[in-house]
Amino acid sequence: MARLDREASPPAVVSATQGSGVDGADSTGRDERIAQLAEEIARMQRTLGRARGQLLRKARENVEWASQILITYLAGGGPMRLGALAATVQSDPSTVSRQVAGLVRDGYVERRPDPEDGRAVLLAVTEQGERAYQDYVRVRAERYADILAGWSTGDVAALATLLHRLDNEFETRLMEGGR
C-alpha cells in the first residue's frame, strides 16, 4: 500500500453506518481502508505531538506537557490517589510521584487527607492548577477553532461523533485486556 502524505487525497467520506461492513456484506477494500485509517491516525499522533509544545507556549502558565497531563486528569476527574492517577495516565507510580512533587512545589497541586481513609492522601488541583487547566483548554479550543474554520458544522459534528465512537472502542478493548 502506498504511504499517504500531506499531498495525498483522503478517502471519500461515508456516513457512520454506510459501508461499515460489520456484517461482512461489504468487505471489498475494508482491510485497505483500515490500514489507511491506521496510517492517518499515526500521522495525526505525530502532528499532535509537534503541536502540543505550541499549545503550551501559548498558555499563560509555564507547565511542561507531562505535568499538564496530570493537571488535566486531576482537574477533570477530581481529587484522586497517586496510584489511581498513575494508572489513569498509564505511567509508573514513582515517575508520577516525582512529577506530582514538582507540581506541589510549584503550587499547581495539593495533597489532602482522604476523607474515606485518613491515612491516605488525595491529590487535587489548586486554584493555580485550575487556572493552568482552564488556560490550556481555552488555548486548545482556539487552536481547533482556527484549524477547523473552513469545515461545516456538520463535518465537525460527524468527526466528533466518529472520534468518540473510535475512542470508546479503544477503551472497551483496553478494558478487555487488549484482545
Segment 33-51, tens digit of pLDDT: 999 999 998 998 888 877 7
Quick: pLDDT tens for 41-83: 899 888 887 777 676 666 556 678 788 889 999 999 999 999 9
**Half-sphere exposure at residue 40, Cβ-oriented, CA atoms within 13 angstroms:** 12
Residue 115 lies inside a defined structural domain of this protein: yes
List, run by run, the mean pLDDT of 10-residue segments along the chain (179 residues). 39 46 64 91 86 66 80 94 93 94 96 90 96 90 94 96 93 76
What range defines the domain where residue 120 resides? 31-147
Say how far apart CA 49 and CA 141 lie, in whole Å.
17
What pLDDT score was predicted for residue 174?
Answer: 78
Looking up residue 116, the CATH number of its domain turns out to be: 1.10.10.10
4 secondary structure, DSSP code: P
Say how far apart CA 96 and CA 108 lie, in whole Å.
14
Residue 112 lies inside a defined structural domain of this protein: yes
Phi and psi angles of residue 110, each rounded to the nearest 5 degrees, phi first: -130, 155
What pLDDT score was predicted for residue 24?
Answer: 52
Residue 100 lies inside a defined structural domain of this protein: yes
Residue 120 lies inside a defined structural domain of this protein: yes
Residue 8 lies inside a defined structural domain of this protein: no
What pLDDT score was predicted for residue 55?
Answer: 67
SS (H, E, C) 7-73: CCCCCCCCCCCCCCCCCCCCCCCHHHHHHHHHHHHHHHHHHHHHHHHHHHHHCCCCCCHHHHHHHHH
What pLDDT score was predicted for residue 118?
Answer: 81
Residue 155 lies inside a defined structural domain of this protein: no
In the chain, how many domains are there?
A: 1
Residue 17 lies inside a defined structural domain of this protein: no
What pLDDT score was predicted for residue 179?
Answer: 57
Residue 175 lies inside a defined structural domain of this protein: no
